[in-house]
Structure 1
């Protein structure tokens, strides 16, 4: 299976891996677009005020621009260790057993404005670029990514679970993917999408998936894994489900 997680704006710093080598990332078909975006970010970083404006950062976040400038030289970490925040706190990669980490690297992938999608174990540097960013030399990212990324994801010969957030679903559609929505339910059974802590619950679902010895091959199997982990997940259609919190 392939579970697509949303990325995070925040990244762990440092790393012990060799500098970025695009040829080592999953889905080498994406290398030309990845290279173009890396070059664009490095070039943009030579103009700090412009970088802050394009990336929606304050002057206090100028360190993010410095990291973009060092994209090709800075050390790398596995993607699941690089991204931080509530989803990745809930996944708790550092608490997984060796076997569970292997499953995480095999089953989980992360949507990325810079790399399109990266496998959980792919070695990447710290960077700053959001799905909604518009780089001056490139334009809106969706126009660049959709032609390259949609065929790659559509060709996935496995059960795909799409947990991406809206800025990243707009970069590539995956018509055959199962989509899980995080919702609350009131006393009358009405459900509303959760915005606050949405990612934390997705992180718990991702953790349940990698802790499971059995690998789900369809939505029913995914729901069984979630329920065994104490999560309440119910189908709402052939390829959709609600995670009720």
Structure 2
């Protein structure tokens, strides 16, 4: 089982440590592309209009400045750099040593800067969304899509893919549909369903934690995933087609 996550919008910078070593990150096929994006990001972040180009406000000026010196910033494992609703719900730091090893091996974060990283990969904090267009590179989702396909398909071969990414990051790689289950979250009142964003992030984080910490064998099929999720939530599994992934709908009471 492989769990695909989006990065958090906000990051928690490492207090100390060596800078990122691109050659030590998982998926070495992406090293050249990572360097290219990092250089383009540094150049763009030094411009007077950097905040507007990155789609952030003045309160994040310090984060944008950090983009200009990523090669010198201290790095830390991705599971401590990425923070926020989803990652708080996942709660890596409260897992047992065995559960952490499962997370390190079974979680991949799709990123606008790195393409994709494993949970234990050491990275610095940065500010860049997959939706941003980079000078000379274009939209990052389009830039990364062929590269992620080449890098991740071998890594994911034979595994069930639990896709907890948001649509912005899902656009960067389309995994094999027959082995992929996208996770949607709804609230329901009087038979009427409503898509939610905040609770979706939280619930996807809780689902990831549940799958990594529950006893028993990890799900290997969409039906087994639905059964595992059903241990905690009301769920329904929408079967896929040869061209479309399966969907797990988690229904929360409103």
Look up the match of 1:77: 76
Render the CA deviation track for 1:163-182: whole Å, top value 9, x for unaligned.
Answer: 11011111121232111111
Q: 1:186 aligns with which of 164, 185, 189?
A: 189
Quote the offset at 1:196 in angstroms: 3.0
* Residue number in structure 2 paired with 1:240: 247
Task: Give the conservation status (yes or no) of the 8 Å contact 2:85–2:198.
Answer: no
Could you say which residue in structure 2 is the equivalent of 1:63?
62
Using the alignment, how far apart are the partners of 1:166 and 1:69 within structure 2? 28
**What residue is the counterpart of 1:90 in the other structure?**
89
Quick check: 130-139 or 2-11, which moved more?
Answer: 130-139
Aligned-partner Cα distance in 1 for 2:195–2:169: 18
Structure 2, unmatched stretches of 5+, are 241-245
Provide the rounded CA distance (Å) in 2 between the counterparts of 1:192 and 1:153: 33
Q: Could you tell me the TM-score, scaled by structure 2's length? A: 0.89
SS of the residue 1:111 aligns to:
strand
Cα distance between partner residues in 2 of 1:78 and 1:63: 21
- The 1:21/1:220 distance shift into structure 2, 3 A limit, reads same
After superposition, residues 19-34 of structure 1 pair within 5 angstroms as 19-34=19-34
Deviating beyond 6 angstroms after TM superposition, the runs of 4 or more aligned structure 1 residues are none
Distance in 1, Cα, partners of 2:163 & 2:59: 34
Structure 2: distance between partners of 1:215 and 1:162: 15
Following TM superposition, by how much is the alpha carbon of 1:206 offset from its aligned partner in structure 2, in angstroms? Answer: 0.5
Aligned residue among 200, 204, 222 for 1:198:
200
Q: Is the 8 A contact 2:163 2:183 kept in 1?
A: yes
The match for 2:233 among 231, 234, 242 is 231
Question: What CA distance in whole angstroms lies between the structure 1 residues aligned with 2:23 and 2:160?
Answer: 25
Structure 1 unpaired stretches of 5+: none
Task: Determine the C-alpha separation between the residues in 2 that align with 1:64 and 1:115.
Answer: 17
* Other structure's SS at 1:137 match: coil
| TM-score normalized by the length of structure 1 | 0.92
- The answer as to whether partners of 1:33 and 1:144 remain within 8 angstroms in 2 is no
CA deviation profile, 1:60-102 (whole Å, cap 9, x unmatched): 3210122111211111111111111100110111111111111
Q: Distance in 1 between matches of 2:224 and 2:151?
A: 24
In structure 2, the residue corresponding to 1:74 is in which secondary structure?
coil
Match of 2:165 in 1: 164
Aligned-partner SS, 1:40: helix
Whether the 8 Å contact between 1:161 and 1:178 is mirrored in structure 2 is yes
**CA distance, structure 2, for counterparts of residue 64 and residue 88 of structure 1:** 19
Asked if the contact 1:17–1:123 (Cα under 8 Å) also holds between the matched residues in 2, the reply is no
> 1:127, 1:141 → 2: CA distance?
15
Q: Determine the C-alpha separation between the residues in 1 that align with 2:160 and 2:44.
A: 38
